[in-house]
């Protein structure tokens, strides 16, 4: 049964992709409109000394990847369509793992059903994601602690403009989330929303809204209400201040209730060649391994542009709460630096370093992580690039045995866009 479900889901994703392409080609040939198509191909060879990211009995391998892709854009008065697709095939030369493949699909369609009044947005996003919401491991490995994810969204909505300064928007949103991993929770969301925006001046606007979400999942359904108010103030060129706050109320079918505020605020300021950003937020995520996770985060960054490059530093702190049991699960803090420099014409070097610490409340322990990411890219001719990357990941934990490991990865890639 699980295999049949996965097969049907995969067929649906592939069919939706090819149907989208077919429809786009038909429309492009039927009427004069802006239409662009760009195929691409990337070939890479990777060596990793720790395929399965283990602390003992490490196994190394060479991984050959072939990534053909295509980008399509279509613009017409009634329809706007953007489609990006890559097929990623991986061959493990020493057969430490069976040949693997995944898809990367990002499709967005915007249809004007009734001019300036009734619209339909449709999106389909397929990608490989980290199962642990507190750590993004997709940059560390090709498959460890990850799952293919597909999110299909359809949203019919109305737009009313009572005045030139006021924009009212209300409608319905259907969201279907599927994971290939049996450990993750598939879910379907039915969302009703109403929101308004008022432009006080060319530089200031205020927003407000309400959403109701009915989430259906195999483990535990819930209903969620969100009410919010916000503003954005652009006080200078490429400099702005924004804030949004409200409350959320979640009622689970197993009778547990979670009520809490949420907000999202920040500032971006540019002075000369330096750009500084500060953000603080409380948000709610559909967690692959839980029902809904609350993330409280604070982050800041300072970047400086030079004539031939850029350098910056960044800091972040976050807390993750399981809303179903209203309990803190993990705290994470990260500090790092990043840089980009053009060594000579067409040759660019990149370097980033991150140091992170994860405090686990269930074990009373912590995990420390170092991540080094370096690279060189050379453009031979237009749209033909050769890149060499080296990535080093180091984990340590005094209690969690599986969080004691080191990984070295070297990747050589050749990419051509036509």
Segment 220-241, tens digit of pLDDT: 789 999 999 999 999 998 899 9
Q: CB–CB of 67/104 below 8 Å?
A: no
306-319 b/e (C-beta count within 10 Å ≥ 16 → b): eeeeeebebebbbb
pLDDT at 32: 59
Residue boundaries of the structural domains of the chain: 35-417
Token pair of 276, please?
A: 């500084």
pLDDT at 3: 38
Radius of gyration of the chain (CA): 23
3-state secondary structure of 174: strand
Question: Which class is domain 35-417?
Answer: mainly beta
CA angle 118-122-123, nearest 5°?
A: 150
Strand partners, 169: 159, 195
Q: Which residues in 272-308 belong to E strands, given as ranges?
A: 274-286, 292-306
**Dist. CA 185–CA 191, nearest whole Å:** 18
pLDDT at 5: 44
3-state secondary structure of 20: helix
Q: CB–CB of 248/259 below 8 Å?
A: yes
**Dist. CA 395–CA 408, nearest whole Å:** 12
Q: What Å distances lie between residue 379 and 64, 132, 309, 375, 413, CA to CA?
A: 22, 36, 16, 13, 12
pLDDT at 325: 85
- Site of tokens 């969301």: 189
CA angle 370-374-376, nearest 5°?
A: 175
Q: Which residues in 202-256 belong to E strands, given as ranges?
A: 204-216, 222-236, 239-252
Q: What Å distances lie between residue 204 and 37, 161, 233, 271, CA to CA?
A: 38, 18, 5, 21
Query: How do residues 144-190 score in pLDDT, each as one tens digit?
Result: 999 999 999 999 999 999 999 999 999 999 999 999 999 998 999 99
- Residues of the chain with pLDDT below 70 are 1-32
pLDDT at 71: 97
Task: Give the global pTM.
Answer: 0.89
- Site of tokens 């005094």: 398
**Dist. CA 82–CA 90, nearest whole Å:** 26
């Amino acid at each position: 049964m699980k295999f049949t479900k996965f097969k049907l889901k995969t067929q649906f994703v592939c069919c939706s992709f090819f149907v989208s392409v077919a429809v786009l080609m038909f429309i492009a040939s039927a009427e004069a409109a802006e239409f662009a198509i760009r195929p691409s191909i990337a070939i890479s060879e990777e060596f990793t000394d720790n395929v399965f990211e283990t602390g003992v009995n490490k196994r190394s391998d060479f991984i050959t990847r072939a990534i053909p892709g295509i980008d399509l854009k279509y613009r017409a008065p009634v329809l706007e369509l953007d489609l990006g697709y890559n097929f990623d095939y991986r061959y493990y030369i020493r057969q430490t793992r069976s040949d693997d493949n995944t898809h990367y699909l990002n499709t967005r369609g915007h249809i004007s059903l009734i001019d300036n009044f009734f619209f339909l947005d449709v999106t389909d996003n397929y990608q490989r994601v980290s199962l642990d919401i507190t750590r993004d491991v997709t940059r560390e490995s090709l498959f460890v602690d990850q799952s293919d994810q597909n999110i299909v969204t359809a949203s019919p909505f109305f737009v009313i403009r009572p005045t030139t300064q006021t924009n009212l928007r209300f409608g319905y949103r259907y969201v279907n989330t599927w994971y290939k991993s049996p450990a993750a929770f598939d879910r379907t969301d039915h969302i009703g929303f109403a929101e308004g925006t008022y432009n006080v001046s060319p530089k200031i606007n205020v927003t407000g809204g309400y959403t109701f979400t009915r989430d259906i999942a195999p483990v535990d359904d819930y209903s969620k209400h969100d009410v919010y108010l916000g503003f954005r103030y652009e006080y200078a060129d490429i400099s702005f201040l924004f804030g949004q706050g409200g409350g959320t109320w979640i009622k689970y079918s197993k009778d547990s209730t979670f009520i809490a505020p949420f907000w999202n605020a920040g500032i971006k300021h540019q002075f000369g060649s330096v750009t500084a950003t500060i953000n603080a937020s409380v948000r709610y995520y559909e967690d692959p391994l839980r029902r809904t996770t609350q993330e409280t985060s604070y982050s800041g960054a300072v970047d400086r542009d030079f004539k031939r490059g850029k350098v910056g530093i960044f800091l972040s702190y976050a807390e993750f709460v399981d809303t179903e049991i209203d309990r803190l699960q993990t705290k994470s803090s990260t500090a790092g630096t990043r840089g980009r420099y053009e060594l000579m014409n067409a040759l660019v070097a990149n370097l980033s370093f991150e140091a992170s610490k994860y405090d686990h409340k269930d074990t009373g322990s912590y995990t420390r992580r170092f991540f080094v990411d370096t690279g060189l890219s050379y453009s031979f001719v237009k749209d033909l690039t050769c890149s060499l990357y080296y990535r080093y990941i180091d984990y340590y934990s005094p209690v969690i045995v599986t969080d004691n490991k080191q990984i070295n990865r070297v990747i050589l890639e050749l990419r051509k866009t036509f």
